[in-house]
Chains A and B, each alone.
Chain A
């Protein structure tokens, strides 16, 4: 009986330490799968908006993702998600369909974005208007500096949009 108690105690002590070591190992494995600091640090892109032409889509690259920059024409509806520079309005959005991440194509004639993967469509403000996409095109964190825009930094305009729930 006494023998049994000692054996149980040793079993539990061994089990406890093994579980602790196992948890530590799991944490180390999780951290090894994390994005590297160098990947996270290389995350800023500066874009000059002054050269943009109306209804012509420019695609820039930020953190490996395509960024849509579209200068709106006068007949396109103004939207709370527009980036406003003087009297010009821009759509600045991550160019990945919010369904499963394909890049939608811009059709200048119809003035819509159309995704080839599952047929989703977005208007020039990035709102979903057809198909499976559940939400508008996302707006990357940005900061306006005169006529240039820095992606990856959160400026007051972006924070306002985020607080209003216009992007994630």
Chain B
């Protein structure tokens, strides 16, 4: 049996350490978790995401108190009960709606930061893969949540997205009906997506966040130059008081204080949106109750799905579905398609720099085209950008293979 100090005061640090190892835990997770000094504000996006997820969770808990998962009651429980009767119900809804939209903006910034600085290779592959898993589950979480107000956009987005599972010419309508629990999105569909949104997917997300943090611990976060730091040596310097010479800082409290500053700026913008500009996250069409006999004249997803939606749109049905499916998973392969030995910012990597900015611009163009009606010249621009998206992925192994070692 381990030794316990009889004289330790209950719940004192010593008492807790003997029972839970809190001192070691605190060192491993915060005060001796070393972060390179040479980073910029883009490295704060991870904690910004964690904080936004926290806001979504808290606002979601309050929405859950009055929301009714029933196709006859859902619309009114949101638009009447929560919005007009519940004290500050509007606040939770607007935080939830704005948060769901903004979280994707930060996810995309976080992803493209990782791509730019090469933070997905040489020991950091699992960071990238667990992050991509988070992106996929967040997408499912956003989609299932979008069903819940049961407005016209909820219904028709549900119709279109579940129809994707028929697999085009495979005509797997049985699978589509199985997913819906009905011939069309109905009550069974709403209640099962409610379950996914409030329980199963959040559990998976929380698990994946823990995994994502875990994947960072051994390879450590990257830095602005992609420099390989001897973390043990740098940590010894820091602990010996030579903070200026050391290349690292502890996560807590030094790095976290910078994170908190970035979060402060972010939350000013976030709550500006919540209080004064929440309408961007609230599609007016979704304020009409779901009607299975009337398609809205224009169906488009929320902005964060537009780029992949536009990859589906310009092709015939089967190739469109295949292109769409590939686009959903191709980013997972990034660490393996990038054949260059360099971990460095894109600006130092020759052709990869061109690749990075073309990819970013292409995704932005696809996003804009996805919102415009499928007419005239927009069709051609959409088709070209969709083809460019795939051309870039095909080119990636070749241009990175040819890259000179820095």
| Chain A contacts to B: CB under 8 angstroms | 30, 33-36, 39, 43, 59, 61, 63-66, 99-103, 116-119, 132-134, 168
Contacts and interface: CB of A to CB of B under 8 A. Distances in A.
B16 interface: no
B295 A117 contact: yes
A35 B183 contact: yes
B171 interface: yes
A118 B313 contact: yes
Nearest to B379: A119
B160 A61 contact: no
B192 interface: yes
A33 B318 contact: no
Contacts of B177: 35
Contact of A117 (B160, B184, B188): B160
Given A33-B178, A35-B188, A65 B316 contact: no
B181 A39 contact: yes
B192 A132 contact: no
Interface string B276-318: 0000000000000000111111110000000000000101111
Interface string B181-217: 1111010100010000000000000000000000000
Contacts of A117: 160, 295, 299
A39 B188 contact: yes
Interface majority SS (helix, strand, loop, mixed), chain B:
loop
Contacts of A133: 317
A65 B292 contact: yes
B156 interface: yes
B230 interface: no
Interface in B296-351: 296-299, 313, 315-318, 320
A66 B160 CA distance: 15
A34 B293 contact: no
Given A39-B181, A63-B183, A101 B163 contact: yes
A100 B163 contact: yes
Contacts of A102: 156, 159-160, 295, 299
A132 B160 CA distance: 14
Interface string B132-166: 00000000000000000000000010011001100
A33 B163 contact: no
A33 B160 contact: no
Q: Which of A30, A61, A66, A99 has the most CB of B within 10 A?
A: A99
Contacts of B294: 103
B374 interface: yes
Given A35-B177, A100-B160, A63 B316 contact: no
A133 B374 CA distance: 14
